[in-house]
């Protein structure tokens, strides 16, 4: 999952984006002062609740496709979305992993207020990589995937709960992609099998979301989110929208206003195949060799790695986007 591009390709992408290529929205931002857009009565995000949703998923065990834990967790996500009044769509089938193994998968969609034409999409992956191949001691063992998968889903479930009690004036589609993390590190196209399937066979017949925000590894302590390369190439206006709202809410140190490498993640296929402008909010650590947190694909990715403070920042920012969006669409 999440292969980085080479430095040369990244440089070309940055130049491409700076010239405005590949995007309907200009890269250069206006110089006038930013207007405040977040409503004063923004509902509160409950990080304790999001943490509990995360712990519940982890308690099932690693959510590796073709396992009992995977089935139980998928059933749990569906039940929670139904509880909060979403119109649930389950896109199920089989995809072939790079190993040749057939994987049973379920993309799970929860549409809040599906009758609304103006919509945004918030997505994540909910499966777990089948082995902790970055772990120096146990590279073949399964791991919890608490940050890398479960926490993003936990944040989304908490937002769904909030929308049930305080509906927004914009529709929200929660999409939980499956079979994202069962890939070969040397080939980015072997990852994100659920989102590739989704993009080629969208389950929506009408009221497509206007844009999307994909979450990945958004709950580690001191996590930072940079403006990822493909997000800037395909949807720089959405990047600036989200980062400006984070800044308005006091989260500039977490949503860092600097560009980073392009990452092959679920958003890439939603952009390149389906054409819905989608950005990736993903942990970027410039101090590590991989650019990801030290827990990434190791046994350290457990509930001890999940930080409620980071979940609070991400959830607060997403609520700011949702509840300020009505006039923008």
Per-residue pLDDT tens digits of the chain, which is 329 residues long? 566 553 344 444 433 333 333 344 445 455 566 788 999 999 999 999 999 999 999 999 999 999 999 999 999 999 999 999 999 999 999 999 999 999 999 999 999 999 999 999 999 999 999 999 999 999 999 999 999 999 999 999 999 999 999 999 999 999 999 999 999 999 999 999 999 999 999 999 899 999 999 999 999 999 999 999 999 999 999 999 999 999 999 999 999 999 999 999 999 999 999 999 999 999 999 999 999 999 999 999 999 999 999 999 999 999 999 999 965 44
What letters, b where the CB count within 10 A reaches 16 and e where it falls short, cover 70-89?
A: beebbebbbebbeebbbebb
205: in domain = yes
The radius of gyration computed from the CA coordinates of the chain, to the nearest angstrom, equals: 18
Write the DSSP symbol of residue 148: I
For residues 182 and 127, what is the distance between their CA atoms, to the nearest angstrom? Answer: 9
328: in domain = no
329: in domain = no
30: in domain = no
Three-class SS state of 65 = coil
Structure tokens at 150: 């479960």
Q: From start to end of the chain, where are the E strands?
A: 87-96, 102-112, 119-125, 171-177, 211-216, 225-227, 255-259, 277-282
Q: How many CA atoms lie within 13 A of 191 on its CB side?
A: 23
For residues 43 and 288, what is the distance between their CA atoms, to the nearest angstrom? Answer: 36
317: in domain = yes
Domain, as residue range, for 137: 7-25+43-323
Phi-psi map region of 22: left, alpha, beta (phi>0 left; psi -120 to 50 alpha):
left
Q: Look up the pTM and report it.
A: 0.91
- Say which residues have a Cβ less than 8 Å from residue 102's Cβ, sequence separation at least 6: 94, 95, 96
For residues 321 and 274, what is the distance between their CA atoms, to the nearest angstrom? Answer: 22
DSSP H or E segment with residue 320: helix 308-323
Q: How many CA atoms lie within 13 A of 89 on its CB side?
A: 15
Phi-psi map region of 162: left, alpha, beta (phi>0 left; psi -120 to 50 alpha):
alpha
Three-class SS state of 27 = coil
**Total domains in the fold of the chain:** 1
DSSP H or E segment with residue 81: helix 68-83
37: in domain = no
The domain that holds 82 is classified in CATH as 3.40.630.10
Structure tokens at 195: 């989102």
11: in domain = yes
Q: How many CA atoms lie within 13 A of 295 on its CB side?
A: 24
DSSP H or E segment with residue 69: helix 68-83
């Amino acid at each position: 999952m999440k292969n980085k591009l080479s430095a040369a390709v990244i440089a070309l992408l940055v130049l491409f984006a700076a010239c405005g290529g590949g995007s309907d929205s200009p890269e250069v931002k206006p110089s006038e002062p930013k207007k405040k857009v977040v409503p004063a009565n923004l509902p509160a995000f409950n990080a304790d609740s999001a943490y509990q949703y995360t712990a519940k998923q982890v308690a099932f065990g690693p959510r590796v496709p073709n396992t009992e834990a995977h089935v139980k967790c998928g059933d749990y996500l569906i039940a929670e979305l139904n509880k909060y009044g979403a119109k649930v769509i389950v896109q199920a089938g089989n995809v072939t992993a790079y190993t040749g193994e057939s994987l049973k998968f379920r993309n799970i969609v929860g549409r809040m207020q599906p009758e609304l034409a103006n919509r945004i999409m918030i997505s994540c992956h909910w499966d777990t990589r089948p082995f902790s191949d970055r772990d120096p001691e146990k590279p073949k063992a399964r791991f919890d995937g608490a940050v890398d998968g479960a926490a993003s889903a936990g944040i989304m479930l908490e937002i769904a709960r909030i929308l049930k009690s305080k509906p927004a004036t914009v529709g929200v589609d929660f999409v939980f992609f499956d079979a994202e993390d069962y890939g070969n590190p040397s080939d980015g196209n072997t990852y994100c099998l659920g989102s590739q399937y989704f993009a080629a066979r969208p389950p929506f017949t009408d009221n497509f979301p206007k844009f999307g925000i994909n979450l990945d590894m958004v709950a580690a302590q001191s996590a930072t989110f940079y403006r990822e390369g493909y997000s800037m190439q395909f949807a720089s206006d959405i990047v600036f929208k989200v980062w400006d709202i984070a800044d308005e809410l006091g989260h500039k140190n977490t949503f860092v206003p600097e560009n980073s490498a392009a990452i092959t993640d679920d958003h890439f296929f939603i952009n390149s195949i389906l054409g819905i402008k989608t950005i990736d909010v993903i942990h970027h650590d410039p101090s590590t060799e991989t650019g990801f947190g030290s827990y990434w694909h190791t046994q350290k990715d457990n509930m001890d790695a999940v930080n409620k403070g980071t979940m609070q920042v991400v959830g607060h920012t997403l609520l700011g986007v949702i509840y300020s969006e009505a006039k923008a669409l």
